[in-house]
Structure 1
Amino acid sequence: MDSLILIFICLFAGLGFQKVKAIPANAHVALNQFAIYLLLPALSLYYIPKIQISEKILYPVGVGWGSFLLSWLIFAGLGKILKWPKKLQGCLIITSGFLNSSFIGFPVIEALYGKEGLKTAILVDQPGTFVMLSTLGIIVAILYSKGQPSGPDIARRVVLFPPFIAFVIGLVINICHLDFADPVQSMLQKLGSCVTPVALVAVGLQLKIERKSRHWGFLGLGLFVKLLLIPAFFLVLYKVVFRLRGEDIDISVMEAATPPMITAAIIASAHGLKPRLAGMMIGVGIPLSFLTMAFWYFVLKHW
């Protein structure tokens, strides 16, 4: 419960800081970069070496990968048909496609399924969502941002992206069955735990919900895809098509129902992909998701 309270405290703190003259109007940019260059790599270096790689991870990981690919297919297709600007397409692909599988997912899953449920939630988050964000997510952000980057330029920017570097290092350590010394792990864990407050304050600083905003229609569409269509897709795929049963499958579907990923909104904002819409996807999506996740939990319990 304390994790959920922290989310709203930090989000509203960011909103309040908009009124403080001593805080620069572009303070969120510095916070975004701080998260990208230090906090996210620390999170990756702490968790990736601890993942147990086996065939059991396929269905949870499939939720993390499939959500993004489904979002990309939907919004790239709609964007081409309706001739949307590339930045709008990129924003919706990224903010609708990545799950808030840790900051919202972990406390919700622990509350509903106990600490054992976190084992499945971590599989959705780290080898699933986080791997996709560190690779294809960055590629999409680059492709849909300003300009027409070349193949070598895209490769260079992905390879030099700090969370991706940390992911590769963590993966090598995992394959070698090693891990960092305890003091280093403690430091990485403490740094990684700062991602949520820093990211949410940054979201709050740039969140401007305007009644006459042209983003409301796109916001509704993005949240419909993220909160309803994507979890429905995995519910039908896993429960109806594959006829899978078990708590791990239910947890995977619940993770698919989590709101847009805070880190994904940071990436979209950092690449100039409609920062206000990205902020609204987080600011509106998080509180709304508590209602939709309750709905999906009810559906799963009575399936």
Structure 2
Amino acid sequence: MELAWICAQQVAVLFLLIGAGALGVKMGWLKAEGRQMLSSLLVNLVVPAMIVNSYRMEFSMEILRNLLAAFGLSVLAILMGTALTLLLTARQKDSRTPIFRFACVFSNAAYMGFPLISALFGAEGLLYASAYVTVFNILLWTMGYGMVSGSNSPKAIARSLLHTPVLYAMVVGLSIYLLQIPVPSLIAQPLELLGGMNTPLSMLITGILIASGDLGSILRDKHIWKLAGVRMLLIPAVCLAAFAVLGLLRFGMSAQVVLLLECCPAAAITSVFAVQFGHDEHFAAGSVVLTTLLSILILPLCALVLTALM
């Protein structure tokens, strides 16, 4: 129950921050168009800084084993979500299918997940979350990119991966951790300050997104509700059941972190890809908005279930 209570409190804090972003748009203090610039700042600078900073801890074989387990569990969870989504949409041939599949498979781990993991598990939890996000980004810019772009060009995919700062942050962070490289305070302090921006910045972006969406039309769209059901309920439930049956819950915090990240809403980049590749951007934005709103209730419930099982 303690984990669920902490999660509920943290979600309430995040909800207030989301409200601040939405209020800023309604009052004219923030521009809806500004979310792209803020998202770029978050993904390219803030999250990498936070990942590098999370690796600044004393070496432990137990933590290293759990980190490796987090990599394996992350691959398994995302691929299970992919297989389930493809199975459910095998006969779905309409123009919304690429976005539907992408939004179901890829969660908003960096925006909604990292703040929660930080509050619930601290620096060690962020370490395991960084493993998930590394796997997530590799699959997003290969399999996910192919889903929405229709392109399987190795050159285009390689170019996308090489322009992903999170992967470089993971390499730097792992080097610092495995080799126990001391980080001077002159560098450590900016990393901490930048990493500390993750929670407020990501929630403000979410608030801007919600405020700029048409909630009425979103709530009336049955396809968005179907997507939300798959993303927020079905995939996490299947992953949890598979982890339990396979005995993977024994990995403790690593398993909890991966499962909570799988409970997160649809990735915010869904809307960006919809615009970039000419898909239904209103459907994409609506999917992100609705799943984000539902996560305010679902994430604490997921934490409650995990607490009962573990």
TM-score (ref. length: structure 2): 0.78
1:263 to partner: Cα distance: 9.8
Deviates more, 1:141-150 or 1:188-197: 141-150
Deviation per CA, 1:179-235: give whole Å up to 9, x if none. 421221121121112112111111121124432024111111211134422222212
Deviation per CA, 1:252-283: give whole Å up to 9, x if none. 44334425577972333333382331232222
Q: Which amino acid aligns with 1:89?
A: R
Q: Which amino acid aligns with 2:37?
A: A
1:235 aligns with 2:244: yes
1:60 to partner: Cα distance: 3.6
Q: Which amino acid aligns with 2:189?
A: S
Matching residue of 1:115: none
Matching residue of 1:206: 209
Between Structure 1 and Structure 2, the one with more helix by share is 2
Separation (CA, whole Å) in 2 of partners of 1:189 and 1:19: 32
Matching residue of 2:27: 20
C-alpha contact 1:14 1:204 (8 A) present in aligned 2: yes
Alpha-carbon spacing, 1:293–1:169, altered in 2? closer, same or farther (3 Å): closer
Matching residue of 2:128: 124
Matching residue of 1:107: 119
Matching residue of 2:83: 73
Alpha-carbon spacing, 1:44–1:58, altered in 2? closer, same or farther (3 Å): closer
The 3-state SS of whatever aligns with 1:21 is coil
Matching residue of 1:36: 43
* Aligned match for 1:95, one of 107, 129, 144: 107
Q: Which amino acid aligns with 2:227?
A: F
Separation (CA, whole Å) in 2 of partners of 1:226 and 1:279: 18
Alpha-carbon spacing, 1:149–1:62, altered in 2? closer, same or farther (3 Å): closer
Alpha-carbon spacing, 1:32–1:260, altered in 2? closer, same or farther (3 Å): farther
Alpha-carbon spacing, 1:260–1:222, altered in 2? closer, same or farther (3 Å): same
* Aligned match for 2:13, one of 2, 6, 31: 6
Name stretches of at least 5 consecutive residues in structure 2 with no aligned partner: 1-5, 275-280
TM-score (ref. length: structure 1): 0.79
Name stretches of at least 5 consecutive residues in structure 1 with no aligned partner: 111-117
Q: Which amino acid aligns with 1:94?
A: F
Alpha-carbon spacing, 1:162–1:261, altered in 2? closer, same or farther (3 Å): farther
1:218 aligns with 2:222: no
Separation (CA, whole Å) in 2 of partners of 1:4 and 1:285: 9
- Written as runs of structure 1 = structure 2, the 5 A alignment for 1:137-176 is 137-148=140-151, 150-176=153-179
1:155 to partner: Cα distance: 0.1
The 3-state SS of whatever aligns with 1:258 is helix
May I ask how many residue pairs the two structures share in their alignment? 284
* Aligned match for 1:134, one of 126, 134, 137: 137
Matching residue of 1:282: 292
Deviates more, 1:99-108 or 1:162-171: 99-108
Separation (CA, whole Å) in 2 of partners of 1:256 and 1:37: 22
The 3-state SS of whatever aligns with 2:106 is helix
* Aligned match for 2:272, one of 235, 251, 270: 270
Separation (CA, whole Å) in 2 of partners of 1:175 and 1:292: 32
The 3-state SS of whatever aligns with 2:115 is coil
Separation (CA, whole Å) in 2 of partners of 1:264 and 1:224: 12
Alpha-carbon spacing, 1:277–1:152, altered in 2? closer, same or farther (3 Å): same
The 3-state SS of whatever aligns with 2:204 is helix
